[in-house]
């Protein structure tokens, strides 16, 4: 009986340790990794953040929200319901973006059926007038391979002007890329 209790306790501890968001420092370390070769295939329809977890295909993305302490049923979420589909090696990934309508905090997710990686940017008002708003960064991953992280980094760096340190209005739009 004692062995079963220890095993169950160990399992619960292991699960709780694996369900947490990375530190901002670790997320920036990920962000600073080199860009990989990806091919943007186009736009596809995808589930909204508030629909995550309603079917088995979106369970990995719901776990990301849990790790980041975000609620899918928050009425502030905004999304187009479209993702960019990219090819990395021989595998297709979707790049999804959603944001809070009032404060513009946003989440970026790269995912396939088994793996997902996400950055969440919390926008912080600038301390001095005339400076850009800052970002409090967190990230999370689900799955055993790191390809989704490389896909997200590469897409954001090559196709947007998104920064994980400062926020600029419309920085996700390619036409605003400088």
Condensed to tens digits (0 to 9), the pLDDT of residues 66-103 reads: 999 999 999 999 999 999 999 999 999 999 999 999 88
Judge whether 37 and 21 are in contact, CB under 8 Å.
no
Average pLDDT of 27-43? 95
Quick check: is 8 in a domain?
Answer: no
pLDDT given for residue 177 in this prediction: 40
**35 is a domain residue:** yes
Q: For residue 1, tell me if it sits in a domain.
A: no
The rounded distance, in Å, linking the Cα atoms of 34 and 106 is 23
- Would you state the pLDDT for residue 47? 94
Which pTM does this prediction carry?
A: 0.82
- Calpha distance 129→131 (Å, rounded): 6
- The confidence score (pLDDT) of residue 12 equals 36
High-pLDDT (> 70) share of the chain, %: 84
| 3-class secondary structure, 77 | strand
Number of domains composing the chain: 1
Residue 112: inside a domain: yes
The pLDDT of residue 4 is above 60: no
Say yes or no to pLDDT of 169 above 50.
yes
Report yes or no on 10 lying in a domain. Answer: no
- Dihedrals φ, ψ of 26, to 5°? -65, -40
Q: Are 138 and 24 in contact (CB under 8 A)?
A: yes
**Domain span including residue 103:** 18-173
- Residue 178 domain-assigned (yes or no): no
**Structural domain includes residue 4:** no
Assess contact for 46 and 94: CB atoms under 8 A: yes
Residue 153 lies in a domain: yes
């Amino acid at each position: 009986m004692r062995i079963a209790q220890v095993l169950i306790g160990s399992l619960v501890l292991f699960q709780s340790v694996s369900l947490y968001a990375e530190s901002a420092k670790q997320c920036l370390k990920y962000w600073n990794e080199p860009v990989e070769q990806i091919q943007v295939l186009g736009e596809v329809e995808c589930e909204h953040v508030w629909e995550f977890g309603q079917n088995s295909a979106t369970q990995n993305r719901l776990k990301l929200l849990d790790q980041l302490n975000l609620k899918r049923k928050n009425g502030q979420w905004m999304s187009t319901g479209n993702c960019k589909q990219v090819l990395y090696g021989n595998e297709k990934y979707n790049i999804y973006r959603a944001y809070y309508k009032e404060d513009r905090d946003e989440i970026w997710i790269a995912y396939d059926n088994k793996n997902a990686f996400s950055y969440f940017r919390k926008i912080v008002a600038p301390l001095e007038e005339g400076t850009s708003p800052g970002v409090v960064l967190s990230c999370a991953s689900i799955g055993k391979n790191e390809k989704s992280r490389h896909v997200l980094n590469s897409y954001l760096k090559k196709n947007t002007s998104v920064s994980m340190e400062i926020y600029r209005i419309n920085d996700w739009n390619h036409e605003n890329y400088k």
